[in-house]
Amino acid sequence: MIGRIRGILIDKQAPDILIDVHGVCYEVQAPMSTVYQLPPLGQNVELHTHLVVREDAHLLYAFFSLEERHMFRSLIKVSGVGPKMALAILSGMAVDEFVRTVRTNDLASLTRMPGVGRKTAERLVVEMKDKLAEWGVTEMHAAPTNPKSGGSSDRQMTQEAETALVALGYKPQEASRIIAQVLKSSGDLTRSEDLIRLALRSVAQS
């Protein structure tokens, strides 16, 4: 099991990240909550990881905090929830927000996540409630932005944001619609990470 990775951030096309570890580049996937906190390209980064071994691939998932990784591991143990859905859930809501959602039986919030239907939401509440009984809930804080990472053109930013949403499970037309709505109300964005954050927040609040 690969539990942690430390190296130079080479590329990030959310949710995919490329990290150079002494000349070997590892391709990992991460929830948006982790992507938001990545340093600029070319700088060192250290992430906690979870390896999923399949017959056709070895997939490495990375997380900024141990808390996120612990929640990811708990989620994929729920019947019908795979790594992709777990990643989408952690991208759409913070860990503490998910805990509150389960504790309050908020099925509506869960079904806003891509791929989470009513039955899956009900299973999440039933199977996760006991696991989260002792989970400490803290106040929500927005993930810090990194102004040093630089901006991008409007077209590139839009494409990166739409690609990220599709990778998280949203349909292409739905991703385009969500991004267009966010750009209409927040036209001064320069970073795809900020656009993705606002898009996911708008879905969660709709």
pLDDT digits (tens, 9 = 90+) for 92-113: 888 888 998 898 999 988 888 8
Residue range(s) occupied by CATH 2.40.50.140 in the chain: 4-63
Q: Which amino acid is at 155?
A: R
Per-residue model confidence (pLDDT) at position 187 = 64
Per-residue model confidence (pLDDT) at position 169 = 80
| % of the chain at pLDDT higher than 70 | 87
In this structure, the strands spanning 24-29 and 58-63 are parallel
Distance, CA of 206 to CA of 195 (rounded, Å) = 16
Q: Which amino acid is at 162?
A: E
Peptide bond connecting 15 to the previous residue in cis, omega within 30 degrees of 0: yes
Q: Please tell me the class of the 151-205 domain.
A: mainly alpha
**CATH for 4-63, among 2.40.50.140, 2.30.130.10, 3.30.413.10, 1.10.274.100?**
2.40.50.140
Cα-flanking dihedrals φ and ψ of residue 8, to 5°? Answer: -100, 130
**Which band of pLDDT confidence, cut at 50, 70 and 90, is reported for residue 190?**
low
| % of the chain at pLDDT higher than 90 | 35
pLDDT at 137 over 50: no
Residue 19 · residue 35 · CB < 8 Å: no
Residue range(s) occupied by CATH 1.10.150.20 in the chain: 67-129
Task: State the architecture of 67-129 in CATH terms.
Answer: Orthogonal Bundle (1.10)
Cα dihedral 100→101→102→107 (10° resolution): 160
In this structure, the strands spanning 16-21 and 24-29 are antiparallel
Residue range(s) occupied by CATH 1.10.8.10 in the chain: 151-205
Per-residue model confidence (pLDDT) at position 152 = 53
